[in-house]
Structure 1
């Protein structure tokens, strides 16, 4: 079972990036920014053709990950049997959906059919296997505080969930077959936040219930770097719905069938050497949650971040979890010790490494390092840092990150004397910012924050 999800919004200079909170038995996502109805900014942009990268993991690792994702809740509780929908899956939309939900849902269902081979389709009928109910953020929070979206088995509405919330009927750990589920989405959040909720919660509604920090290129990871289903995720879901599996199987029965399934679905994974990453200890998870989540003061956060680094070092990690430990420490040191924060971001970039499965992670860190470069007046360094990651953000359909990188690039260009080009890039960023951040005020606030990194603008005191 997934914990309450965090929102890793990609402005990463001085704002909080990752917000873990306490475990629950309901899959949720953290709250989003409200979006206003009208806009005076350029038209909103959206992504068209998906460009997911294929999985680069070995089939041995994928089999292990599949079992841990499918037979365990994030709390650590084991699930006794495998569950999925058997037969075609119908999806309906109720409530008051935002305009962006329809196109994004259509694209996601098409991807699930073509990439994961799942028989899933939208229906206008009064009943469906999965109900997507679009309600206000306040309604969702009254049902589950701190959540912005969540999925529940055996209900079809938020009112029904509220009446059953303390019963076994809506407990994932009691589920033995999947027939009816409901996903509750905010209708007053940014388009990207609604879409991210849609991807995460629909993936859980039809597939695995757990999250694993050891997965670098997956939405099934509590670091929430990936928010759109990846090539790895689609392979997991295709495996989940392979004819060789069925509801009611035990972990041992599924494990027996996985090697043949993966050899057939992912022949490239047969020749890749397994990494066999170690299990993530609870001590590290809890330290990260304390460092970046709510409820702790500055000293407690710093102590928790230090502990996370100590655990990562003691475990001998050199993977993305070690990198994320440095990233978390850098985030916490930004306001009090910028030099040490920058050192930690450099270390994070180093441990994320050059592989394709951590490209998006490196884009996040690049935004931090570029911000330092711009603030120090090093325009060429900032451009060097930013340029490789613009396509990465676009390929992963992260409009908020793409807009932020473009805004940073605009400041670096103007700082380097390319004023006209910089202004053009800034204007081009606004359409993506509208999808990523939603409201005009949020977009303009982002522009001001990025703009004030520029020493010239800081001297002027405003944009």
Structure 2
């Protein structure tokens, strides 16, 4: 995903936070002592999607025969197996473990014959470089993938040549993936999942997908069951390089009947396209380069378009969520109305529990800041398992920190201290540097009315 939004994994809570924090003893100790060891998620597998194969076939075609710009692709392309992959540059310590887990999942869940090698002629090269180097190459990218290159230097030399044009590919033989090595472990892992999935699979993103990394909303950052099915379908023997959209469309019912038999019995759901006007407004609201006034205007426009389209799905919810974020610092009560609207539309859309967990960090923070710890904990507790299942350490640690402050307000200070301490190992994976972890802890602590009153 070239234009991966620089949209924080967890939303800013400052709309209802105090400007200064007076640490309680447990927090003071944590702010001065070495942080606990970083935690990470064990190898896992995703749940299979529960949707109609007819819908999945339409998604497959849109993902493989269009670019994010809307340009149509003339032919289906993939690697011929087996696929080899190597790592170059200066990879951070966590990269290898996360990459090994990802390759294992691709082999077991997607049935793709892919392995890591040290040979210079590997099909895929992952080069780990600094964030600044990536931005100098593509200013709006957090990480990216390019065909027919094996290094950033190679990309700079070929970037305007035909061989780096996705639309001109007839098959995939060599690809370069560029990953930052000076960001949080979670962001490194997220880039691995997104860019490797694009390197071997779909080139497009679709906002209509509620449960996929092939969606620029950046909610899902670890390959889902739907994603694995899309990849497995793309490497089915019935498909081959050079097939047209019509040829692939004819083959998909039989392929999906084999790959996803439960989807044969599920009725298709009507799906509306996402207009370019909504995409542009959303990108302006969340992407770099816009002023705060421009962001708010764009968020309002996205919400207006979503209403005009008659959407009742996660896209309508996302519009309200974005607008809530835009107005939160100046009008927290209006922001909460938008968050409640977002939660309502998410409740109408199956498979959006992770989206709801993001919104709950805002609504629970508001309850906490208003001295309602019981309400805050009631909202937080169901989301903890959602964040764990999604392997989102940044979200998980923020929910746990909110829970700790709510426990403190309830008078359960020992339990609050235990939850707070446990959250920091996840925060180290999710946010990376010690200063970022401590800043998140202080930000959440500032929501506690006792802190604001100096108690």
TM-score bin, normalised by smaller chain: over 0.9
Structure 2 counterpart of 1:289, from 273, 276, 283 = 283
Q: Counterparts of 1:182 and 1:294 in 2: how far apart (Å)? A: 24
**Alignment of 1:167 onto 2:158:** no
1:134-283 mapped onto 2 (5 Å cutoff): 134-283=128-277
Question: 1:126, CA displacement in angstroms?
Answer: 2.5
- Deviation string 1:63-94 (CA, Å, 9 cap, x unpaired) is 00000000000101000000000120001111
Structure 2 counterpart of 1:405, from 399, 404, 419 = 399
Corresponding residue number in structure 2 for 1:395: 389
- Deviation string 1:14-50 (CA, Å, 9 cap, x unpaired) is 379xxxxxxxxxxxxxxxxxxxxxx931000000031
Corresponding residue number in structure 2 for 1:4: 3
Structure 1 gap segments, 5+ residues each: 17-38
Q: Counterparts of 2:45 and 2:362 in 1: how far apart (Å)? A: 25
Structure 1 counterpart of 2:374, from 368, 377, 380 = 380
Question: 1:356, CA displacement in angstroms?
Answer: 5.0
Q: Is the 8 A contact 1:50 1:395 kept in 2?
A: no
Which piece of structure 1 moves more, 295-304 or 137-146?
A: 295-304
Give the direction of change, closer, same or farther, for the CA distance of 1:15–1:232 in structure 2 (3 Å limit).
Answer: farther
1:265-344 mapped onto 2 (5 Å cutoff): 265-344=259-338
Aligned residues: 438
Q: Is the 8 A contact 2:41 2:391 kept in 1?
A: yes
Structure 2 counterpart of 1:81, from 75, 88, 92 = 75
**Alignment of 1:427 onto 2:421:** yes
Q: Counterparts of 2:66 and 2:355 in 1: how far apart (Å)? A: 26
Corresponding residue number in structure 1 for 2:360: 366
Question: 1:148, CA displacement in angstroms?
Answer: 2.2
Give the direction of change, closer, same or farther, for the CA distance of 1:232–1:147 in structure 2 (3 Å limit).
Answer: same
Q: Counterparts of 1:74 and 1:456 in 2: how far apart (Å)? A: 48
Give the direction of change, closer, same or farther, for the CA distance of 1:8–1:356 in structure 2 (3 Å limit).
Answer: farther
Structure 2 gap segments, 5+ residues each: 16-32
Corresponding residue number in structure 1 for 2:20: none
Corresponding residue number in structure 1 for 2:88: 94
SS at match of 1:460: coil
Corresponding residue number in structure 2 for 1:451: 445
RMSD after superposition? 1.4
SS at match of 2:179: strand
Structure 2 counterpart of 1:64, from 58, 61, 74 = 58
